[in-house]
Chains A and B, each alone.
Chain A
Amino acid sequence: MAQLFDLALVIWLIALAVHITMARTDQNAIIAFIAFGLLLGLGWVQLSAFDVALTEIAIGAGVTGILLLSAEAHMRKARTSTKATGTKIAKAEASTTGTVSKATTIDEGRRIGAVGVITTAIACAAVTVGLGFAVLLLPNPAPTLAPAAAAALDATGLGNPVTAVLLAYRALDTLLEKVVLLLALVGVWSLAPDRLWDGAPALRPAEVPEPLAYLARVLPPFGVLIAVYMFWVGADAPGGTFQAGTVLAAMWLIVMIAGLRQPPDTALKTLRLLLVGGPALFLAVGLIGFIIADGFLAYPEAIAKPLILVIEAALTLSIGVTLAMLVAGPAQKAREP
């Protein structure tokens, strides 16, 4: 019975993926992509990869979804404002009988061109075939470090091997990952014009529907509770900093979208402290490892778990703030004096 379910899930995922590639407008594709992310979460659960499932649902469907939706809204705005001028109008005239967005869809399709479409299709097919071969050619049983990871689990005091890998065995990777996230945010902020550099991003829609304002008042308490739970349970069961941070980011974003709180100035000291706090603490603990333990990013066995929990708490806040500010985008309003 479980195998039947897996088979159905695979067919469903492929069908949805095909639907996404065939979608006529960006917005349709993004909506289907969000659905795809949620569905993929189900797939990871079936593979017993619960940590991945939680991350996929939170990041793949939730935050990436809103990131894409707001990017699409920006692109649409840019297109409508430039469409009246420039060369695009010639292409748009090809379908004067069509409505506005029909014209832009065709316009967009032409921009890629038939050659581009074929090249993309070939490249995608090559990647798919390559991946298929890689999976089929795996030695059986597949090489694994799982027994080693499980054996050393006691030394960390953790119960969840995934958290142990992330914060003890391969802590360097995790540290660099968080720094990359910060660099991405710096990249996004750099898109702001100079005069707006230390201003605030704008997120609030022109008109906030009543249910959205209600949701923004009621949902965040639940969300924060879930985030704390995710963070706490992460030490011994699937969950952890990234999932908890994403939930926090989502809650803050809802509050900002509904206009209950304005996005902060990017120059705000507290904001920057929160952004840097997690990685900085991680790095500091790593450096102290030279003195109190065996080396960089090593923890003394006696206080390994409390140290890891403190790092995780700081990282959760940092990730939450970073993701929310990433979605909020570059500054669009000048700083208030």
Chain B
Amino acid sequence: MADFLIGTALFISAVTALGLYRVLRARIAVERMMAVQLLGTGGGAALLLLGVASGVSAANDAALLLMLFATFSCAAFTLGLETTPTENLGSEEESR
């Protein structure tokens, strides 16, 4: 059973890595922030699987914090955007 769970964790992190690769190369600044959210859920799922596979409950705590701080970072991101709206528009256009 443990092997199956670790295998699934590997699969999910591989899939998350693919998504991460796509999102980090995105044209729009906000879209890149999806990378953090993606890691929050994908990494969290992998951690839960690993935790149950190895029987260590601390991995679940790590997953809990991962979700919490992924959201926190997403929320904090709006701070940088809102304070300088004009310049931000520039950085969004930048990589077109």
Direct touching of A and B (C-beta under 8 Å)? yes
Q: Verify B76–A253 contact, CB threshold 8 A.
A: yes
Query: Is the interface on chain A under 10, 10 to 19, 20 to 34, or 35 or more residues?
Result: 35 or more
Known: A28-B32, A32-B35. A257 touches B75 (CB 8 A): yes
Q: Verify A66–B79 contact, CB threshold 8 A.
A: yes
A336 at interface by CB-CB < 8 Å: no
> Looking at the complex, which one of A8, A62, A203, A208 makes contact with B72 (CB distance below 8 Å)?
A62
Q: Verify A65–B14 contact, CB threshold 8 A.
A: no
B23 to chain A, nearest CB (A): 9
Determine chain A's interface SS by DSSP, over half rule: helix
CB-CB contacts below 8 Å: B1-36 with A: 3, 6-7, 9-10, 13-14, 17, 20, 24, 29, 32-33, 35-36
Q: Please, what's the 1-or-0 string for A187-207, where 1 marks a CB less than 8 Å from any CB in chain B?
A: 000000000000000010111
CB-CB contacts below 8 Å: B27-84 with A: 29, 32-33, 35-36, 39-40, 43, 46-47, 50-51, 56-59, 61-62, 64-66, 68-73, 75-84
Q: Verify B76–A257 contact, CB threshold 8 A.
A: yes
Considering only CB atoms, which chain B residue lies closest to A102 in the complex?
B94
Bound-state CA distance A58–B81 (Å) is: 22
> Looking at the complex, which one of A8, A32, A62, A100 makes contact with B90 (CB distance below 8 Å)?
A100
Known: A38-B39, A62-B73. A205 touches B83 (CB 8 A): yes
Q: Verify A31–B84 contact, CB threshold 8 A.
A: no
Bound-state CA distance A24–B65 (Å) is: 30
Bound-state CA distance A53–B66 (Å) is: 10
Q: Verify A250–B72 contact, CB threshold 8 A.
A: yes
A2 to chain B, nearest CB (A): 6
Q: Verify B13–A9 contact, CB threshold 8 A.
A: yes
Residues of chain B within 8 A of A235, CB atoms compared: none
CB-CB contacts below 8 Å: A63-103 with B: 65-66, 69-70, 72-73, 76-77, 79-80, 99-102
A209 at interface by CB-CB < 8 Å: yes
Q: Verify B6–A27 contact, CB threshold 8 A.
A: no
Bound-state CA distance A86–B71 (Å) is: 40
B8 to chain A, nearest CB (A): 10
A325 at interface by CB-CB < 8 Å: no
A105 at interface by CB-CB < 8 Å: yes
A134 at interface by CB-CB < 8 Å: no
Q: Verify B39–A35 contact, CB threshold 8 A.
A: yes
> Looking at the complex, which one of A34, A79, A237, A247 makes contact with B65 (CB distance below 8 Å)?
A247
Considering only CB atoms, which chain A residue lies closest to B80 in the complex?
A73
Residues of chain A within 8 A of B17, CB atoms compared: 8, 12
CB-CB contacts below 8 Å: A96-114 with B: 99-102, 105
Residues of chain A within 8 A of B70, CB atoms compared: 38, 61
Task: Report which B residues bind A (CB closer than 8 A).
Answer: 3, 6-7, 9-10, 13-14, 17, 20, 24, 29, 32-33, 35-36, 39-40, 43, 46-47, 50-51, 56-59, 61-62, 64-66, 68-73, 75-88, 90-91, 93-95
Task: Report which A residues bind B (CB closer than 8 A).
Answer: 1-2, 4-5, 8-9, 12, 16, 19, 24-25, 27-28, 31-32, 34-35, 38-39, 41-42, 45-46, 48, 50, 53-54, 57-58, 61-62, 65-66, 69-70, 72-73, 76-77, 79-80, 99-102, 105, 203, 205-209, 212, 215-216, 219, 222-223, 226, 230, 233, 237-239, 243, 247, 250, 253-254, 257-258
12 contacts between A and B (CB under 8 A): A1-B7, A27-B80, A31-B32, A31-B36, A41-B65, A42-B13, A50-B59, A57-B65, A101-B87, A203-B79, A205-B81, A226-B68
Closest 4 CB pairs of A and B: A205-B82, A100-B90, A62-B69, A66-B76
